[in-house]
Structure 1
Amino acid sequence: MYTLSLEVVNKCNLNCSYCYLGEKKNTSMSIDTAKKAIEIAVHEVQKQYDKTLVIYFIGGEPLIAFNVIYEIVAYTKSRCMEMNLKYMFSITTNGTLLTKKIIDFFIKDKFEIKLSLDGSQEVHDLNRKDYQNVGSFLTIINKLKLLRKYEKESDKKVSYAHVVTKNNYQHFEKNFQFLIDLGAERVETGIDYYCTWNNDEMKGLGIQIVNVFALYKNQVQIEKKRIYWNLLEHYLEMYLTTCNFYACKAGLNSMFVAVNGKIYTCIELPEFQIGSIMEGLNIQRIREIAYVEDKLSESCINCKYKSICKTRGCQASNYEIHRNIYEPVEVKCRMTKVFLNLIENNFTSQQLENLKIREDR
């Protein structure tokens, strides 16, 4: 599988307080840029065992550039059929611009949808407001009928993505329950690693994670609900598989193309640029990033989980926060320990062995 993340637009109709884009440039990707990116991806995906190309549309708010998405999908399908490749489409959206026309398009082309919804109205509207400082919760809730139509007709489940940050982490458990009550079967928790968490806040976040884990277990074991929680799946995989520094291998099996056509491993940092749509991929730079020497930082030397931890190998986030690819982000480090401890103490050896068999497949 090869993933091409396309930043089809750098503008947004919301002004979320934790947005990683910072000052938005209000530009859209040209069709020509997108096609050149797809050509590079089509070449790369042929090196992958399963010959599957995943196109992931992001922004900004990607639906602002729906006309671009429409053209890209048609072009991707045509090129993949010519080359006998499989393809998948995915999008992250704030949901405010969804229409029946767009949903029907997503159904027809089997899109995966990730919807940004932080939880209850009180919590969601703390951070996810428009440029008039009006919360977006009610607008999104009014789109639920369209999302139910999508789930029914596509036989896929919407992923509900919520961000946990300093001004809402105390409501983590409550918001997780809110999303489940709303009907979410896929919950994707994103912890805001870009803000500065103090010690008390990190302790509080750890307590909330323990509470959410207990809630999740109850929903799955007692209520018999089928719920996917990305963080638990991520840390289970970490616990069960061999650790490699820079385990994600971004650049080898994926690339991120910015609006301007520059290509990065995953985030738009000059140090992680690996090419451009005009010049192609810089193979030497990809190898330098992907096969960098593994070193333990001082903060990792005495950690009991150092042999399995993949958090310390996230070069991009380490560098963005510390300007050091080996120094893990503290809140990520501490939350990793919370999750791995939960796994150790809540799964039997047989359960873990069964899960390992699943991972190996």
Structure 2
Amino acid sequence: MNYVIIGASAAGASAAKEIAKNRDESDQILIFTDETYPFYYRPRLIECLSGEVEVEDIIINDAEWFAEHDIDLHLSEKITEIDLENSLIKSAKNSYQYDKLLFANGSTCFVPPFSGVELDNIFTLKKAADLKEINAAAQQAKKVVVVGGGLLGLEMAYNFNKAGLETTVLEVADYLLPMQLDEKAGDLLESKLQKNNIKVITGAKTKGFTGKKKVEKVILENEEIAADLVLISTGIKCDTCLVEDLDIKTNKGIVVNEKLETSFPNVYAAGDLAEYDNQIYGIWPPALEQGRIAGQVMSGLESEFTGYVPSHRLKVAGINVVSIGNLNKDGNYQEKVLLDDDNYVKVIADNDQKIGAIIVGQYSEQNKLLAEIKK
């Protein structure tokens, strides 16, 4: 049996590990990535912006580990074509036969149609390869603008700030983290960040960028902001380019069932590009879980993915931020709010059962609360 996996991050690596546990001696596991680094903890890439962490520090399994476990890891080999009828994948180097195939090649950064986005010193951060250019530009920069005040955008801003750069965050919504927080929590987080010398502009409608060759200004609807480095953090889009012309059902991503099966036999998908029950998670924990389950199913075991309770924990400039569970503001739920000048806690319940929570600041009962929600 030839197992082929496209993508060597959370979903791909966890699938390979599961298959390796259950393989027959003659089975082959091939895993392909266009990156030069093996499996690393991608959420910590952001820490590399401060200069305190190197990519080598966040590698989870190095090339030797894959070799020791008889997993054929192909670094720097981008898959360019899939032949479903003949069960082949192709790269510029070679073609490979598979019996079972897993798409785990993740997502790319979504960049809105800003004007001037082609100017130098405007970046996105998705892979280790992006870091070299960003850090080189940061060494010559003084003013950084992060477009996007989501979880990643705020962590990026914090790490630029730690590196000594004057940092501004632009968020199009009226308050920070609108997907994870309510307005009071978002406003409290903003005030805490401002106290830590990170400037935040909410309701910021970014139009584009100007400059001669390098970016010099960010153009908003009502103002201009000086910048010599811009990082765009405005979400992700599923990397479905390999399946665009194939007989595989897609919507926002590759549509899968609870077994992570696609609409084509013996072809699976997991991680950021997999769409289960109209949901794309785009975060590390469910990617690991989907990869694990896909690997089990591919190797003949019974296993199912039944969804994931969204949970976000963030620490920016020492500020504790937690968002977990069902935060549907339109539902007929009970809410309990605990608030003082420095801390905010909202607990959401349905028929007295705790189903969600928002925390900004410190809360002594946090671990107990999270455990109740996850039950």
TM-score relative to the length of structure 2: 0.28
Give the number of the structure whose alpha-carbon radius of gyration is greater.
2
Higher helix share: 1
Higher strand share: 2
TM-score relative to the length of structure 1: 0.29
